Amino acid sequence: MRVDLFDFDLPEDRIALRPASPRDSARMLVVHPGGALEDRGVLDLPEFLRPGDVLVSNDTRVLPAQLFGTRGEAKVGVTLHKRVDARRWHAFVKNAKRLRAGDRVVFSPNLSAVVEDKLADGSVAFLFECEGPVEAALMEAGTMPLPPYIASRRPADEKDAEDYQTVFARHQGSVAAPTAGLHFTERLLAALDARGVERVTVTLHVGAGTFLPVKVEDTTAHRMHSEWGEVTPEVAAKLNAVKARGGRIVCVGTTSLRLIESAADESGVIHPFKAETDIFITPGYRFRAVDVLMTNFHLPKSTLFMLVSAFSGLETMKAAYAHAIASGYRFYSYGDASLLFRYEAKS
C-alpha cells in the first residue's frame, strides 16, 4: 500500500509533553465496531470489557539508555536501541560519521564503550567496558530516552524517570516505553479485577526503531525493526483457555499485540514464544488472536498507525484521528488513549 495513505495533519500543540496526572485521568476515545466514536476516559475501561476477558500487558522496563560522552575532545550523543549480549549494544549516534571502528567513547568514570562496527542501518555496534552489569552502569550514567518528538522540545528530567515507566514494568531491556501501559494505576487494575477481567503479562523489549520514519513510498518495501519478546508457556495456556471459553484477548498497546500475533498460528492457537519478532502489520493482515486493543495516538505515516488501521479499518481510523484532533485529544507517548475493536471484513 502507498505510505501516503496513512498521512494526516497534526497540529504541534496536540503533542503531549507530560502525562496526565493522575495517569488514569487521561481521555479515551472508544472506536466501536463500524466506526461509531465515543468520548470517554481511561477509568471507563472496565465498562467496555466483559467478565472472562483477559488483559495482556507488556512488563518490560525502560533503561536510561540515552548517553552523552566524549571521544577525545568531541562530544558524542548515543541512544541505545538493541541489546546483543551482556556487553554489546547497537545504538543510534549523532554525527556517527565521525566515529571509526576502535574508537573509545567515555560516558562516565565507570562506563565507556569501544566502536566495533558501523552497521548498514546507520547504527553503531558498541562493546561496553564497565565494572559489573552494563544495566547497572546505565542507571548511573544514562537518562531516560524520551521520544524524539518530546526530546526536541524539552530535556529529560527526574520526573521522567517515574513517568516513563509503567505500573507493569519488571524486566529491564526496553529503550522506549510501551506507552499504553502508562495509563494504568492500582486503582484501575482493582476495578478490572472487580469486573472479572483476568490479567497476564508478556515481555517485549521495545527498541528505538519504533520511532524510525518510514522512508519508502510503498509499505512492501519497508523493513521492520526486530525486537525480542517472550510469551511463557503458562501465559500461552491461559490465553488459549480464555479464547476456548469465549473470552476476548485485550492487548494493552501495540507491543503486546505484535507479540501475541507473532506467537499465534494460523488457527489462532497461541504458542510459547521466546525470540525476535519483526512482524509488520498493515491493512489486509488477518488477525489471529487479538480482539481488542488499547493504544495511544500515533505518528502520521508510522508503522503503528498502519497497525491500528489494519485492526479497525483505515477509513475508520482516519475518521477517529480527525475527531481526536478536532476534540483536543493529546497525542503520542504521554498522550491520551484509544480503545479499538477488531474490524471484521465482510466476506
| Same domain membership, residue 99 and residue 19 | no
pLDDT for res 81: 86
Radius of gyration of the chain (CA): 20
| Same domain membership, residue 73 and residue 41 | no
Highest averaged pLDDT of the listed ranges 83-92, 317-326, 338-347: 317-326
Checking if the pLDDT of 347 tops 60, the result is no
| Same domain membership, residue 182 and residue 244 | yes
| Same domain membership, residue 224 and residue 76 | no
- Looking at residue 81, what DSSP letter applies? E
Cell 528530567, residue? 157
15 falls within a domain: yes
Average pLDDT over residues 241-262: 98
User: What is the tens place of the pLDDT at every residue in 50-83?
Assistant: 999 999 999 999 999 999 999 988 899 999 988 8
Domain span at residue 37 reads 3-62+163-341
Q: What is the mean pLDDT of the chain?
A: 94
Highest averaged pLDDT of the listed ranges 114-123, 215-224, 315-324: 315-324
CA 346 to CA 323: how far, in whole Å? 25
157 falls within a domain: no
Average pLDDT over residues 234-254: 98
pLDDT for res 211: 67
149 falls within a domain: no
Query: Would you place residue 12 in the very low, low, confident or very high pLDDT band (cuts 50, 70, 90)?
Result: very high
347 falls within a domain: no
pLDDT for res 98: 83
pLDDT for res 120: 84
| Same domain membership, residue 276 and residue 170 | yes
| Same domain membership, residue 238 and residue 188 | yes
| Same domain membership, residue 54 and residue 100 | no
Give the closest residue to 14 by CA, choosing from 230, 324, 271, 231. 324
CB 281 within 8 A of CB 312: no
The pTM score is: 0.93
86 falls within a domain: yes
Residue 131, domain CATH: 2.40.10.240
- Tell me what percent of the residues of the chain surpass a pLDDT of 90: 81
| Same domain membership, residue 85 and residue 48 | no
| Same domain membership, residue 71 and residue 21 | no
Checking if the pLDDT of 168 tops 70, the result is yes
Residue 215, domain CATH: 3.40.1780.10
Assigned C-alpha cell, 29: 476515545
Assigned C-alpha cell, 14: 496536540
Counting the structural domains of the chain, the total is 2
Checking if the pLDDT of 230 tops 80, the result is yes
Cβ neighbors of 70 (< 8 A, separation 6 or more) are 76, 105, 106
pLDDT for res 346: 61
pLDDT for res 97: 80
Instruction: Report the amino acid identity of residue 293.
Output: L
User: What is the tens place of the pLDDT at every residue in 171-183?
Assistant: 998 989 999 999 9
CB 29 within 8 A of CB 222: no
